[in-house]
Amino acid sequence: MNNQADQPTAAALVIDDEPQIRRLLRVTLEANGYRVFDAPNGQEGIVQAAQCRPDVILLDLGLPDLDGVAVLKRLREWTRVPVIVLSVRDRESDKIAALDNGADDYVTKPFNTGELLARLRVAHRHAQPSGDLAVFRSGQVEVDLSARVVTVNGKEVKLTATEYSLLRLFVQHAGKVLTHRQILRDVWGPNSLEQTHYLRVYIAHLRDKLEANPAQPELIITEPAVGYRLVEKE
């Protein structure tokens, strides 16, 4: 069982119309140190989010009153709390819509509770007001953002300006799925949103320089047809 004992007051809000899912998540989350609130529909979920001020929200897309993306848009009008979408919808268009509208992660039902808890820990860490991130570490890779130095196994790796900009974006959103459009907009600008070949080429370059085995990447993970995610490893 994963241990959240060091964060005993973290609060989670579950917005889902299935009583069984709400019950499962309540048991799982409470066993891992969360206080849990829940709502069976979108409107009540928005009210609960305002009243309870949770540290993380688990949001279903198929709600009886409002579509989950509509709930997400409403939430993003006033809060940056991490939102993890839990949905049976596994189409890439649904995932992209949720992520582009402010979701921090997307987990397809049925889900593995261990994976969900790991993603919750990442989301919760990134919600902490820890100031500017100076040094990021994942496995043998270290990125010193203040010095603009990247090392693998203690040896400095030279990156081009574009490669570094791409890696910095991943570091700033480590653990979060970034869509192709998000990455292209932030690194290459709004006029490059359809130029996905840029992205494939530069992801390959980064993997060649950072991964132990670029053919089986463990740092920069492909989310098929959606985007990429930078993994945080011990």
Cβ within 8 Å of residue 112, ≥6 positions away: none
Assess whether 119 and 211 both reside in one domain. Answer: no
The CATH number of residue 212's host domain is: 1.10.10.10
Position 3 in a domain: no
* 83-118 pLDDT, tens digit each: 999 988 888 889 999 998 889 899 988 888 998 998
* Number of domains comprising the chain: 2
Assess whether 27 and 78 both reside in one domain. Answer: yes
Calpha distance 197→206 (Å, rounded):
14
Calpha distance 46→68 (Å, rounded):
11
Domain encompassing residue 28? 11-127
Structure tokens at 3: 């241990």
Length of the chain as a residue count = 234
The CATH number of residue 107's host domain is: 3.40.50.2300
- The position carrying tokens 């993997």 is 207
Assess whether 93 and 174 both reside in one domain. Answer: no
Which pLDDT belongs to residue 128?
56
* 2-24 pLDDT, tens digit each: 444 444 478 999 999 999 999 99
Higher pLDDT pick, 141 / 91: 141
Position 6 in a domain: no
Identify the domain boundary among 98, 127, 156: 127
| Whether residue 1 has pLDDT greater than 50 | no
pLDDT band at 126 (very low <50, low <70, confident <90, very high): low
